[in-house]
C-alpha cells in the first residue's frame, strides 16, 4: 500500500469478502490510493469511519443488519469530511434517487470497469457528484412529471448548467461542453443552489430530475 499521507484513503464496506479483496487488489495497483480499512456491515462501517476518517467510503447497499442507505446519516455525522460512494448491484431509478436524497456523493453499479471505479473515487474526493453509466441510464428513463420550463427564477445559462448537472456531468465536463472555465461553472452552481434552496449537488440533482431536467 502507498502512504496514507500521500494517497486517497479509502474504506471498503461490503459483506462479500471476494468483493472487498477484489477492490483492495485494484487499489493496490493505483499509486495514489490506499485502502486503510474494511468492514462487512453498517456497524463495522461506522466503526471504521469513526476511527479512520477516510477520504472516501466505498459502500454497498445490501448488508447484514441494515442497508447502506440506512447508515448514510450516521456515517455523515461520524465523519462529515468523508465522501460516500455507493457500489452496489441495485441499478433501479428508485434506489438511485433515494441515495441522492440522502446526500451520497456518488453511485456506481457493480460491474463498472476498474477505470470507472478509480475515476469515481478521484472525482468524489475532489468534491464532484458522480453517477455511473448504468445509474444515469435508468434515471434518464424516468418519465418527466411536467412539460413547462422549470425553475423560472433561474437564468437561461443557470438552467442549462443545472440540466447538465442532472445529466451526470462533472464541473469539468460542463466547462468543456459550454466552453467555460471550471471556476465560472462553480460560480453559476453557487447561484443555482441558492435559488433552489439546496445545500449540495445531490439535492440539486434530485430537484432537477423531479422537474424533468437531465434527460436530454
Distance CA 167, CA 209 (A): 9
Average pLDDT of the residues of the chain: 84
Per DSSP (E only), the strands in the chain are 8-13, 33-39, 56-59, 83-88, 106-109, 130-131
SS3 105: coil
CB atoms within 10 A of CB 26: 16
Whether residue 177 sits in one domain with residue 110: no
| ∠ Cα 102 97 138 (to 5°) | 150
Whether residue 161 sits in one domain with residue 134: no
Summarize pLDDT for 5-15 with one digit per residue, the tens.
Answer: 558 999 999 99
Distance CA 6, CA 33 (A): 8
Q: Using 50, 70 and 90 to split pLDDT, how confident is the model at 90?
A: confident
Q: In this structure, what C-alpha cell is assigned to residue 116?
A: 470507472
Domain membership of residue 197 (yes or no) is yes
Whether residue 90 sits in one domain with residue 18: yes
Whether residue 105 sits in one domain with residue 28: yes
| 34 bridge partner residues | 9
Summarize pLDDT for 28-52 with one digit per residue, the tens.
Answer: 999 999 999 999 998 999 999 999 9
Whether residue 132 sits in one domain with residue 35: yes
Tell me which residue range forms the domain holding 41.
Answer: 8-139
Domain membership of residue 146 (yes or no) is no
Amino acid at each position: 500500500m502507498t502512504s496514507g499521507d500521500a494517497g486517497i484513503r479509502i474504506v471498503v464496506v461490503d459483506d462479500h469478502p471476494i468483493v472487498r479483496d477484489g477492490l483492495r487488489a485494484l487499489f493496490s495497483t493505483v499509486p495514489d490510493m490506499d485502502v486503510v480499512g474494511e468492514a462487512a456491515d453498517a456497524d463495522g462501517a461506522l466503526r471504521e469511519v469513526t476511527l479512520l476518517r477516510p477520504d472516501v467510503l466505498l459502500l454497498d447497499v445490501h448488508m447484514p443488519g441494515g442497508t447502506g442507505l440506512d447508515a448514510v446519516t450516521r456515517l455523515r455525522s461520524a465523519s462529515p469530511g468523508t465522501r460516500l460512494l455507493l457500489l452496489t448491484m441495485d441499478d433501479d431509478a428508485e434506489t438511485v434517487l433515494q441515495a441522492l436524497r440522502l446526500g451520497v456523493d456518488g453511485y456506481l453499479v457493480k460491474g463498472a470497469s476498474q477505470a470507472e471505479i478509480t475515476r469515481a473515487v478521484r472525482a468524489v474526493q475532489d468534491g464532484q457528484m458522480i453517477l455511473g453509466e448504468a445509474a444515469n441510464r435508468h434515471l434518464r428513463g424516468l418519465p418527466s412529471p411536467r412539460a413547462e420550463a422549470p425553475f423560472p427564477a433561474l437564468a437561461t445559462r443557470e438552467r442549462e448548467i443545472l440540466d447538465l448537472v442532472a445529466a451526470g456531468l462533472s464541473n469539468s465536463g460542463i466547462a468543456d461542453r459550454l466552453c467555460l472555465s471550471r471556476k465560472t461553472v462553480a460560480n453559476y452552481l453557487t447561484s443555482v443552489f441558492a435559488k433552489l434552496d439546496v445545500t449540495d449537488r445531490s439535492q440539486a440533482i434530485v430537484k432537477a430530475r423531479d422537474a424533468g431536467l437531465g434527460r436530454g
